[in-house]
Homo-oligomer: A and B are copies of this chain.
């Protein structure tokens, strides 16, 4: 029997990646005299990969990687005013208003009565808390887990902390790599809710055919899917 429904946050409950893309476009326009947009994107991704072990996930690390990339592609000749604009763009991201994805409010409300609801998210602690507070969904969750990575071990420890076995837990999210595959590996149900935009570092293959893997178009379909799963196990 399912007892616990977990949700990813960014691009599962609310828009996020689009703000990264918009900022990255702005970043490219600031540096258009020094690097083509494609080349810059490549160098930025390299910097993000190189730094993720230091910075973890989130906007502050993204800001620092943009600054580092700006220095690199200009051989340190980037004007100070451009660095100042990168910082301002990052601070804008840290203040952007939350816009829930379609069906989220209804789905979370509908499931809150019957299940233990957990939010499981990576990113900067304070920023993720701010977004949850602004989303108006905070009271519906029984627990909020902001973690530095989403591995099978991390999921197992979250489930155990909330008194559930993995087989009783389902996680819904837009990242196969972080939300779906490791939960299935941990013994739980993984529900993939694709979002148009996915950061390259989150790409992975879907575990097609796995008995605890499901895919839905958007979060409105989740309550129905949860009923079905509960009915069949």
Contact = CB atoms under 8 A, between A and B. Distances in A.
Nearest to A76: B80
A55 B60 CA distance: 7
Contacts of A146: 125, 146
Contacts of A84: 68, 71, 76
A91 interface: yes
A67 B83 contact: yes
A8 B78 CA distance: 41
A126 B150 CA distance: 12
20 contacts: A54-B91, A54-B94, A54-B95, A55-B94, A55-B126, A56-B124, A56-B126, A60-B64, A63-B64, A67-B87, A68-B84, A71-B80, A71-B83, A76-B79, A76-B81, A76-B84, A83-B83, A125-B146, A125-B147, A129-B148
Chain A interface: which size bin?
20 to 34
Interface in A4-42: none
Given A67-B87, A125-B146, A129-B148, A80 B81 contact: no
Interface in A34-65: 51, 54-56, 60-61, 63-64
A74 interface: yes
- Tally of this chain's copies: 2
Contacts of A67: 67, 83, 87
Interface string A118-140: 00000011110100000000000
B64 A61 contact: no
Contacts of A231: none
A141 B54 CA distance: 24
A77 interface: yes
A51 B51 CA distance: 22
Return the 9 tightest CB-CB contacts between A and B, nearest first: A76-B80, A56-B126, A60-B60, A126-B148, A54-B94, A125-B148, A76-B81, A71-B84, A71-B80
A141 to B, nearest CB: 13
A142 to B, nearest CB: 11
Contacts of A79: 76
A137 B174 CA distance: 35
A78 B80 contact: yes
Given A63-B64, A77-B80, 9 more contacts: A54-B91, A54-B94, A56-B125, A56-B126, A56-B127, A71-B83, A75-B80, A78-B80, A125-B147
